[in-house]
């Protein structure tokens, strides 16, 4: 399976990542990627950029080193209602909106509250994909998340970094495997994300690909084998966005 798109990468602007957009694009080009999502953390995470960073992304070129750029955000879900830390007027200008739960931005809750927070965020018409359900920070009903992703046609991510982090490897990989099996069962759309915080990790899907094979997720489910499929999905999704004056 050849992956041509990485939708989940961070830059220096995230405050705890170490490469520029240009360095990430150069790394993406070297690895043969054709489309790159820039998804720095939303402003409620300590060290993350302020809203003006997201408001000014139109200054970026459409392509860097021949790689098409999708200016976006990894917005933080901030409460049990699934609200995001980026106002709609900013989301409306971005080409890629990922959503996730992160310590420091989300207060925590019961399994039901955490699961509902993700599902409600996925129901938000500005949300393009949900990320790292396999992370162990907040307990989730992974089966319901996989079912909701299929029902809403909002891609869920198999996150390579979650699988690669040694300190949480055993529990995180167990969670990720469980989620991947539910994703195979409900056949919703899937993206693989590197969640790169340094340029040499851009396009690294090695652990995620192993998991996908083990779980029996079909190639058809995975969007980022094709830039055209990703762009077609995003364009359809963005037609659901309400008009913002
Ligand atoms: Zn994240
Ligand atoms: Zn991330």
pTM above 0.95, yes or no: yes
Q: How far is the CA of 73 from the centre of ligand 1 (A)?
A: 10
Q: How far is the CA of 9 from the centre of ligand 2 (A)?
A: 6
Residues whose CB falls within 8 Å of the CB of residue 220, separated by 6 or more in sequence, listed in order: none
- Which pLDDT tens digit goes with each residue over 79-121? 999 999 999 999 999 999 999 999 999 999 999 999 999 999 9
Predicted confidence at residue 218, as pLDDT, reads 96
Say if residue 240 is exposed, middle or buried (CB neighbours under 10 Å; 0-12, 13-18, 19+).
exposed
Beta-bridged to residue 97, according to DSSP, are: 73
Residues whose CB falls within 8 Å of the CB of residue 52, separated by 6 or more in sequence, listed in order: none
What ligand is nearest to the CA atom of residue 39? Answer: 2
Q: How far is the CA of 179 from the centre of ligand 1 (A)?
A: 16
Q: How far is the CA of 237 from the centre of ligand 1 (A)?
A: 21
Q: How far is the CA of 195 from the centre of ligand 1 (A)?
A: 7
Give residue 167's pLDDT band: very low, low, confident or very high (50, 70, 90). Answer: low
Q: How far is the CA of 196 from the centre of ligand 1 (A)?
A: 10
Q: How far is the CA of 162 from the centre of ligand 1 (A)?
A: 9
Average pLDDT over every residue of 58-72: 98
Average pLDDT over every residue of 192-210: 97
The CATH number of 5-238 is 3.20.20.140
Helices (H), the chain: 21-30, 51-55, 88-91, 111-123, 142-152, 160-164, 169-186, 206-215, 227-238
Q: What is the mean pLDDT of the chain?
A: 96
Q: How far is the CA of 136 from the centre of ligand 1 (A)?
A: 12
Q: How far is the CA of 223 from the centre of ligand 1 (A)?
A: 19
CB 76 within 8 A of CB 46: no
Q: How far is the CA of 10 from the centre of ligand 2 (A)?
A: 6
What ligand is nearest to the CA atom of residue 197? Answer: 2
Predicted confidence at residue 8, as pLDDT, reads 98
What ligand is nearest to the CA atom of residue 10? Answer: 2
Q: How far is the CA of 2 from the centre of ligand 2 (A)?
A: 22
């Amino acid at each position: 399976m050849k992956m041509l798109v990485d939708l989940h990468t961070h830059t220096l602007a995230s405050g705890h990542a170490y490469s520029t957009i240009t360095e990430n694009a150069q790394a993406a080009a070297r690895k043969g990627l054709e489309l790159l999502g820039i998804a720095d953390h939303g402003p409620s995470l300590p060290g993350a950029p302020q809203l003006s960073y997201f408001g000014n992304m139109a200054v970026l070129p459409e392509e860097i080193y021949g790689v098409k750029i999708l200016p976006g955000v990894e917005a933080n879900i901030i409460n049990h209602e699934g609200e995001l830390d980026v106002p709609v007027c900013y989301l409306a200008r971005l080409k890629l909106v990922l959503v996730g739960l992160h310590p420091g931005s989300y207060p925590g809750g019961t399994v039901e509250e955490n699961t509902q927070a993700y599902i409600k965020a996925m129901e938000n018409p500005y949300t393009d994909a949900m990320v790292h359900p396999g992370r162990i920070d907040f307990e989730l009903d992974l089966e319901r998340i996989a079912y909701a992703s299929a029902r809403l046609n909002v891609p869920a991510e198999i996150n390579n970094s979650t699988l690669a982090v040694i300190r949480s490897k055993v529990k995180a990989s167990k969670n990720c495997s469980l989620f991947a099996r539910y994703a195979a069962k409900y056949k919703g759309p899937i993206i693989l994300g590197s969640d790169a915080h340094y340029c040499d990790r851009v396009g690294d899907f090695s652990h995620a690909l192993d998991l996908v094979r083990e779980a029996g997720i079909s190639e058809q489910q995975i969007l980022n084998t094709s830039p055209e499929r990703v762009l077609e999905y995003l364009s359809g999704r963005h037609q659901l966005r309400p008009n913002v004056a």
